[in-house]
A and B are shown apart, each in its own frame.
Chain A
Amino acid sequence: MTEPGYPTATLAATPGESVSVETVNRQLRSLRLLFVATLLALLVFGAGVDFYLWYQVKMVRKELTATFSFLEDFQKNKEPLLNKLVAGLQVYSQSHADVKPLLDKYSIRPPAADAASSPASAPAAEPAKPAR
């Protein structure tokens, strides 16, 4: 073990030890180089992972926006129209019996059957409102 305060004095005692100091220095330099190279490699890898994540987030957000706008459009514009059509058909079926097979095809009950409940029943099960 060499003393840290007097490295040259003790290490320069024999020529063999002087060579070993050079070796240690060389090894230290190569270790530093290896450390920097590892850091660089990690940085490149991290940047790649970040880029991939950023791209994925971008794609998911795009899909999310499309789904949100579809649901909003459906609930604001299409669903009321559909309910009006169903209600109108139910009222119409009271005076025109020949439309009943059409209502039966879509499981739309005539208003007399579900008078106690809502006047317009949709042809399919009610989808849940999107909670935002």
Chain B
Amino acid sequence: MKQESLAAFLVGTLSVCAVAGIVLSSNYWFSTRTLRRLQPQALASQARLRLAQELLNDTLEYSKRNPAIDPLLQSLNIKTNAAAAPTAPKAVSP
């Protein structure tokens, strides 16, 4: 009798385990599918960002030779007006 109730308990637990497995598998499948769909976009964005960073570096390099581009860079908050900003005074040590 005791063994029968133990077997029944085990069968019940196993059923719960199987249902949890099905739910987790479907969740994993849907999540992976979404990730696979987004990954090419993320890669393209990363490549674009890298290219933009290179363009920005070249533009900043160009701005050293031709400061006429500075207003454009300042309007985009890419370059601050370093000349206008005074340097912080040194703290006086006691």
Residues of A near any B CB (own CB < 8 A): 32-33, 35-36, 39-40, 42-43, 46-47, 49-50, 53-54, 56-57, 60-61, 63-64, 67-68, 70-71, 74-75, 78, 81-82, 84-86, 88-89, 92, 96, 98-99, 102, 105-106, 122-125, 127-131
Given A36-B3, A57-B24, A85-B55: A127 and B41 interface contact (C-beta under 8 Å): yes
A-B contact count (CB 8 A): 121
Given A32-B3, A124-B47: A85 and B10 interface contact (C-beta under 8 Å): no
Residues of B near any A CB (own CB < 8 A): 3, 6-7, 10-11, 13-14, 17-18, 20-21, 24-25, 27-28, 31-32, 34-35, 37-39, 41-42, 44-49, 51-52, 54-56, 58-59, 62, 66, 68-69, 72, 75-76, 78
Residues of chain A with a CB closer than 8 A to B55's CB: 85-86, 102, 106, 123
Residue of A nearest to B25 (CB): A53
Residue of A nearest to B65 (CB): A98
Given A82-B48, A128-B41: A60 and B31 interface contact (C-beta under 8 Å): yes
Residues of chain A with a CB closer than 8 A to B28's CB: 53, 56-57, 60
Residues of chain A with a CB closer than 8 A to B18's CB: 46
Task: Output the least CB separation between A56 and chain B (Å).
Answer: 5
A43's partner among B10, B49, B56, B66 (CB-CB below 8 A) is: B10
Please report whether the interface of chain A is mostly helix, strand, loop or mixed according to DSSP: helix
Determine if B10 and A39 form an interchain contact, defined as CB atoms under 8 angstroms apart.
yes
Residues of chain A with a CB closer than 8 A to B75's CB: 88
Task: Output the least CB separation between A67 and chain B (Å).
Answer: 5
Determine if B31 and A57 form an interchain contact, defined as CB atoms under 8 angstroms apart.
yes
Residues of chain A with a CB closer than 8 A to B56's CB: 85
Determine if B41 and A99 form an interchain contact, defined as CB atoms under 8 angstroms apart.
no
A71's partner among B7, B41, B68 (CB-CB below 8 A) is: B41
Residues of chain B with a CB closer than 8 A to A68's CB: 38
